[in-house]
Amino acid sequence: MDIHRCRFVPFPPSTINALAFSHSHISKDQKAAPPRLAVGRANGDIELWNPQGGAWLQETIIRGGKDRSIDGLVWTQDPTEEVDGKTFIGKSRLFSIGYTTTVTEWDLAKGRPLRQASGNHGEIWCIAAQPPLSKSEKGAAPGQWEGQRLIAGCTDGALVLYSTEDEDLQLQRVLVRPSAKKAKVISVVFQNRNIVIAGCTDSTIRIYDIRNGSTVRNMTLGSGPKGGPKEIIVWSVKALRDGTIVSGDSTGEIKIWDGKLYTLRQRIKSHQQDVLSLATNFDGSAIFSGGMDRRTVVYKPAGKGKGRWAEVAHRRFHTHDVKTMASFEGGGLSVIVSGGPDASPTVVPLGQYGFENQRSLPFLPQDTLTRSAPKRGLMMNWWDREIHIWHIRKDPDCTDNDEDIENKPPQGRKLVAKILIKGEANITSAALNSEGSLLAVSTNSEIKFFQLRPKIEEDILRVSKLPVPSTFCSGARLIQFSPDGKWLCIIRPDSQILLLRLLTSGTSSASSLTIHPKSTKLTRLDRKIEKHVLLGGLGTYDRTIAQLAFSADSRILAVSDISGHIDTFVLTGQEDLSQPLPSNPSEAASPSSSSTSCESESDSDDPDEGNAKRQTICGQTWKRNPSAAFIPKLPSAPVVLSFRPSATSSKLPNGTVALHSTRNNPNPISHSLPGGETRLLVITSTSQIYEFEVLKGSLSDWSRRNPTSVFPEEFKRTLETVRGCIWDVSLGRERVWLYSVGWLWMFDLSRDLPCSPSQNGGERGVVVNGSKKRKRNGNNGGGSGGRERASGAGGAIPDSQLGMGISRSMKRVIHEEVEEDSQLIQDSMDVDSDTNTPDLPDLSLLRRGSKDDDGKRGKGRGGSYEPRPHDWHTFKYRPIMGVVLIGEGEEGLGPEVALVERPAWEAGLPGRWEGEQEWRDREVGL
């Protein structure tokens, strides 16, 4: 590929203000929805992450708006119910605050506020959820409500209780009125169902009983240090399982308080600046603190009675303040996630701390904010409410004699358009057609169209807004133009699919554009999801559409949702622009008449039955693919959908056979299926790669011969999720370039991949007594990283690099002879497997035409030797914000692409605190 390396895109990272897991702990016998992590940012965005066993997928982003900020997040779980022998798992509900007097509940499926509540009190600074009712408490008070209320601390000193009963959100009562001192409530947490702990700005921690609003006890921290403020700010408070209270304050100390007597038990000076956040594990045997000095400190009980605590380790995982923390344990995961102004969530092992590496999640969104117009060499980027369009071209040849080359303006790019969207809502999606003449922008509330016309004398674009029918202005989650620019696919906030036909008059760049008054609404297959699943847990959130793709001839549309389902649709008929437009506006389809629930999908798998009222527009009709039901549900969410480009063009633009009009049928419509390239490449969040022949509803021949197990081990062990792909079909090639945040990888799909030695039987396992058991390597926890990680953070640290002072194994030596060797830490890979299924099935070897040949297969399909590599990768570019096609490139070099990087050190992060020993960093400007 011919790569333009771009670091000039000013994408601004947003500070992480809040983190919250949907559950802090999930036991083995507990029935609960899969865990999710909510990340609240200073620009008003809420990101939802799925831990999925350590793969950490950013599933969706609920966009914010102007002057909005997410400063607190909390989840609640409605009570689980048993109805007719079926278990209705309690619904997971997400609430947020933003330094206003309002608490907002969010509709996760639509990405919009569901309901709001406020009262006559000051701005809300902190919020916490009531612990769920335990089994013992249920037996003691059988009539008690089992749900969770919300407690909010305000800047005027008020403490407010909100009710979440009956799937509603209401102000229940004000527990504590504003005090005369007007001490702000900065942190709040429940000690149990009835006792609330509030940390204030006047060196006091107050304990309240929510049943009657009475004050239980006031715990004073004393005066501040000499030379500093007299008042101590309690930034964070936590309660351990046994009732012990932990506080972190502006003196850099954490204080341990007796949970029964409410007296100070111990203080530990572990930070050089304010302690901003605290986190604990479920059983209360470990405490984590994060501070303004960028430290993350770990504490564990010390002594026989374990009445006192001691600092056991500290690290600097962040480059700025550790502003917030959240912990989760369950399902094989044991992690703490922290965040702050550096914008990157950091996953730290909890149970395996010191034996596993931490992992920094990218601050760049999963869905790349970069689009292009290859025919014009344009690249578009957007964030918040702003859009930048660049013209990318090659730099002229520069000689070494240029003395002032560094001070010369850049020659390979030019900002040709800058657009600021009016309104308060942030941009959810944007699309640019291949000619670079039309721009579509969507928010949660509206869709806007802009026409781009070149102003040659100034080398800029003239931007003019186009009128949009009111029926199409209700907002969108995703929008995308078809490759021929004739269709615009709109994914509504409720994941309804809408297709608009675009009509242009003239062939020049100044031609006018109109939108056909009719629209096509497509209905996805009914996946037979049981009602008790839709009404509980995360509800219809899993059916949220996250990816869409058009085929190269614009006649096949594929969409996928978070649960792993893929739906496909085909365009039938021959384009006929002679058909008159409907004169009556009522004939146009109204999106509001469409269903807003997944329950209203067609109950039949027949493609014609669910689309009885489909629209015929310009002689063409979109309908469901007859083989759509044959494409199986994938084990994880697809993150990339991409059709192979057509190697040869069809005789007609739409790939159909021409029909002749008759007297009785002046406008004939063809119902034949497309005949172009129909192979769809699908990559999941766990780096599983499939290729489907869409019209057949089956895997392609290449995908059958090359399951994910034969892909390179280094690729399968990568931590980053794939973000997108670029195809190279020039000169008969069949190459696909995959990219993620930290790497670029090429695979040659014209040949079969070689098998690694691990699939050749050398390390598959050892057969013992007729069953296959896994054979461990000699190095315990060698730290290979990749997908084999137990706690959900980074890979295991090699024994030679352990910094905790001990090893994973303990040896007892008697007279210098090894008596026994026992494991200190149970490794999940030690479990024997009785399965006889090897990594590479023999069936796939038979499809290759021969048995495996020790990974040295370098032959093409004809059997001749080919020196070309099967795959190639580089870690040179990072962090990658996006890779887009901007031209066909020179002959032999492949496509011309723009690779956008956004290093964190160039992002203009806010200032940070530096200690006395950090003079080296100050000298180099870090």
Q: Is the pLDDT of residue 338 over 80?
A: yes
Q: What is the pLDDT of residue 517?
A: 86
Strands annotated E in 749-879: 766-768, 771-773, 809-814, 817-823, 871-874
**Placement of tokens 């044991």 in the chain:** 334
pLDDT band at 666 (very low <50, low <70, confident <90, very high): low
Structure tokens, 873:
């990768």
Find residue 698's DSSP bridge partners. 693
CA distance 254 to 247: 5
480 near 488, Cβ under 8 Å? yes
Helix (H) or strand (E) holding 256: strand 253-257
Q: Is the pLDDT of residue 827 over 50?
A: no
* Mean pLDDT of the region 550-560: 96
* Mean pLDDT of the region 663-679: 69
Name the percent of the chain lying above pLDDT 70: 78
Q: What is the pLDDT of residue 651?
A: 43
Q: Is the pLDDT of residue 653 over 80?
A: no
pLDDT band at 665 (very low <50, low <70, confident <90, very high): low
Helix (H) or strand (E) holding 330: strand 324-330
Q: Which long-range contacts (CB under 8 A, 24 or more apart) does 346-350 make?
A: 346/317, 346/318, 347/56, 347/792, 347/793, 347/794, 348/288, 348/296, 348/317, 348/793, 349/791, 349/792, 349/793, 349/794, 350/281, 350/286, 350/288, 350/791
Tens-digit pLDDT profile for residues 701-730: 999 999 999 999 999 989 899 999 999 998
The CB density around residue 867, as the number of other CB atoms within 10 Å, is 5
pLDDT band at 761 (very low <50, low <70, confident <90, very high): very low
Q: What is the pLDDT of residue 576?
A: 79
Give residues with Cβ within 8 angstroms of 296, minimum separation 6.
Answer: 288, 289, 290, 314, 315, 316, 317, 318, 322, 338, 348
Q: What is the pLDDT of residue 411?
A: 72
pLDDT band at 452 (very low <50, low <70, confident <90, very high): very high
CA distance 244 to 65: 40
* Mean pLDDT of the region 833-847: 44
Q: Which residue has the higher pLDDT, 184 or 850?
A: 184
Name the percent of the chain lying above pLDDT 90: 59
Q: Is the pLDDT of residue 864 over 70?
A: no
Q: What is the pLDDT of residue 28?
A: 85
Q: Which residue has the higher pLDDT, 836 or 273?
A: 273
The CB density around residue 453, as the number of other CB atoms within 10 Å, is 14
pLDDT band at 19 (very low <50, low <70, confident <90, very high): very high
CA distance 370 to 383: 10
Helix (H) or strand (E) holding 844: helix 842-848
Q: What is the pLDDT of residue 331?
A: 86
Predicted model pTM: 0.88
Tens-digit pLDDT profile for residues 269-305: 999 999 999 999 999 999 999 999 999 999 999 877 6
CA distance 264 to 247: 11
* Mean pLDDT of the region 188-198: 96
* Mean pLDDT of the region 901-910: 85
Q: What is the pLDDT of residue 851?
A: 40
Q: What is the mean pLDDT of the chain?
A: 83
Handedness of CA 196, 201, 202, 203 (dihedral sign): positive
DSSP state of 583: S
CA distance 616 to 533: 36
* Mean pLDDT of the region 813-836: 42
Q: Is the pLDDT of residue 27 over 70?
A: yes
Q: What is the pLDDT of residue 609?
A: 45
* Mean pLDDT of the region 362-373: 95
Tens-digit pLDDT profile for residues 201-259: 999 999 999 999 999 999 999 988 888 889 999 999 999 999 999 999 999 999 999 99
Q: Is the pLDDT of residue 373 over 70?
A: yes
Q: Which residue has the higher pLDDT, 873 or 581?
A: 873
